[in-house]
């Protein structure tokens, strides 16, 4: 029996609040990692076309032997084929990228499909979002959302569609807690999902205040950080390929961060990102 809480998205679909991310996991290692994660109790898996491990991810899902409908599978559009985001050609490119992801994953639907990066310099999202709406209407994506969008891009999307993204997946951890964006999401019924929730396992996990909180609760720093995400109402998708850490990252029930802990964690905020600033990020 899983004890992972769920978050209800704005279209009624429920997503586990803790999931398993597979960025930088090579395709030939993804099956083992995903299988280990599902066997450990994860029910949500986060991949993307650009991770080039959808094939391995799909194999891991099937090897784990858990019914497809008990799993929550997310993948993301790498929109390199839709440089100008316009016209039927742009929509067709989105639909064909989606078909490709389904084929690689070996499934006939995903639970969540995301626009991976906003690329604000390329203008309107109306076209690509129309293709997403079609996937939603067809039931091939149970929910649709975005990733790395800021308030400006979300507002631009609202201007051309009444289908509000179910979720925005953004860099978020105690060093970079995204207060303003989270408040904006709450106002508009958009769930917040944290990528690099553990700060990529770097400086964050060595922060002395976090080490002290971990000692106080008899937990690891990674568990404290993931507990912080859960208590913040954020969905987190930590990544690991180490079986013991995969299990450790799921074992975050049974303790509660108190007000002192939360204040000490808040004080570690640096305002610094680990990843690129989506406002200026493009790949063409
Ligand atoms: P993360 O914060 O999950 O950190 C992962 C790293 O932390 C591991 O590689 C390992 O080195 C370390 N680690 C994991 N568990 C640990 C533990 N218990 N103790 C000590 N160290 C531990 O970073 P991430 O992989 O960047 O992010 C998680 C997921 O978010 C990705 O796998 C991917 O699915 C998603 N993501 C999305 C985007 C996007 O643009 N949408 C960008 C980056 C990541």
Domain span at 191: 6-198+234-240
- HSE toward the beta carbon, residue 269, CA cutoff 13 A: 10
CATH number at residue 172: 3.20.20.100
Question: 50 with 87: CB under 8 angstroms?
Answer: no
The position carrying tokens 């992801």 is 101
- Atom 35 of ligand 1: nearest residue by CA position: 195
Task: Give the pLDDT of residue 281.
Answer: 82
Q: Residue 43 domain-assigned?
A: yes
The rounded distance, in Å, linking the Cα atoms of 31 and 236 is: 21
Number of domains in the chain: 1
Strands 44-46 and 144-147: unpaired
Query: Is 42 known to be catalytic?
Result: no
Question: 241 with 247: CB under 8 angstroms?
Answer: no
Q: Residue 30 domain-assigned?
A: yes
Question: Ligand 1 mean position to 175 CA, how many Å?
Answer: 14
Task: Give the pLDDT of residue 1.
Answer: 38
Q: Which of 75, 79, 200 to mutate to test the pocket of ligand 1 (most atoms within 8 A of CB)?
A: 200
Assess whether the C-beta atom of 174 lies below 6 angstroms from ligand 1: no
- Atom 7 of ligand 1: nearest residue by CA position: 201
DSSP label of 49: G
Question: Ligand 1 mean position to 197 CA, how many Å?
Answer: 6
Burial 42-58 (b: 16+ CB within 10 A, else e): bbbbbbbbbbebbbbbb
- Estimate the crossing angle of helix 27-40 against helix 54-64, to 10 degrees: 30
Q: Residue 49 domain-assigned?
A: yes
Question: Ligand 1 mean position to 233 CA, how many Å?
Answer: 19
In tens digits, what is the pLDDT along the chain, a chain of 284 residues?
358 999 999 999 999 999 999 999 999 999 999 999 999 999 999 999 999 999 999 999 999 999 999 999 999 999 765 555 677 888 888 999 999 999 999 999 999 999 999 887 777 788 899 999 999 999 999 999 999 999 999 999 999 999 999 999 999 999 999 999 999 999 999 999 999 999 999 999 999 999 999 999 999 999 999 999 999 999 999 999 999 999 999 999 999 999 999 999 999 999 999 999 998 888 75
Q: Which atom of ligand 1 is nearest to the CA of 202?
A: 7
Task: Give the pLDDT of residue 2.
Answer: 54
Task: Give the pLDDT of residue 154.
Answer: 96
Q: Residue 47 domain-assigned?
A: yes
Q: Which candidate in 42, 51, 113, 125 is catalytic? A: 51
Q: Which of 23, 56, 115, 117 to mutate to test the pocket of ligand 1 (most atoms within 8 A of CB)?
A: 23
Q: Residue 103 domain-assigned?
A: yes
Q: Residue 255 domain-assigned?
A: no
Q: Which of 40, 54, 198 to mutate to test the pocket of ligand 1 (most atoms within 8 A of CB)?
A: 198
- Atom 22 of ligand 1: nearest residue by CA position: 201
Question: 115 with 146: CB under 8 angstroms?
Answer: yes
Assess whether the C-beta atom of 21 lies below 6 angstroms from ligand 1: yes
């Amino acid at each position: 029996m899983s004890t992972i809480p769920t978050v209800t998205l704005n279209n009624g679909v429920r997503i586990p609040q803790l999931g398993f991310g597979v960025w930088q996991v090579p395709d030939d290692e993804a099956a083992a990692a995903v299988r280990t994660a599902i066997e450990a109790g994860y029910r949500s898996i986060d991949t993307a076309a650009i991770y080039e491990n959808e094939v391995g991810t799909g194999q891991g899902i099937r090897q784990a032997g858990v019914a497809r409908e008990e799993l929550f599978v997310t993948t993301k559009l790498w929109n390199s084929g839709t440089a100008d985001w316009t016209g039927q050609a742009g929509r067709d490119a989105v639909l064909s990228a989606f078909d490709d992801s389904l084929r690689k994953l070996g499934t006939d639907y995903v639970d969540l499909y995301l626009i991976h990066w906003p690329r604000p310099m390329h203008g309107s999202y109306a076209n690509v979002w129309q293709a997403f709406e079609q996937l939603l209407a067809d039931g091939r994506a149970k929910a649709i959302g975005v990733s790395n969008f800021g308030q400006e891009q979300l507002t631009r999307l609202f201007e051309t569609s009444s289908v509000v993204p179910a979720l925005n997946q953004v860099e978020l951890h105690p060093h970079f807690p995204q207060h303003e964006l989270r408040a904006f999401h709450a106002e508009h019924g958009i769930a917040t999902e944290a990528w690099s929730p553990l700060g990529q396992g770097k400086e964050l996990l060595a922060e002395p205040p976090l080490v002290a909180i971990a000692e106080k609760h008899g937990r690891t720093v990674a568990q404290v950080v993931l507990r912080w995400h859960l208590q913040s109402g954020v969905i987190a998708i930590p990544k690991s390929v180490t079986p013991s850490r995969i299990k450790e990252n799921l074992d975050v029930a049974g303790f509660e961060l108190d007000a002192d802990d939360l204040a000490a964690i808040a004080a570690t905020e640096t305002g610094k990102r680990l990843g690129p600033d989506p406002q200026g990020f493009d790949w063409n």
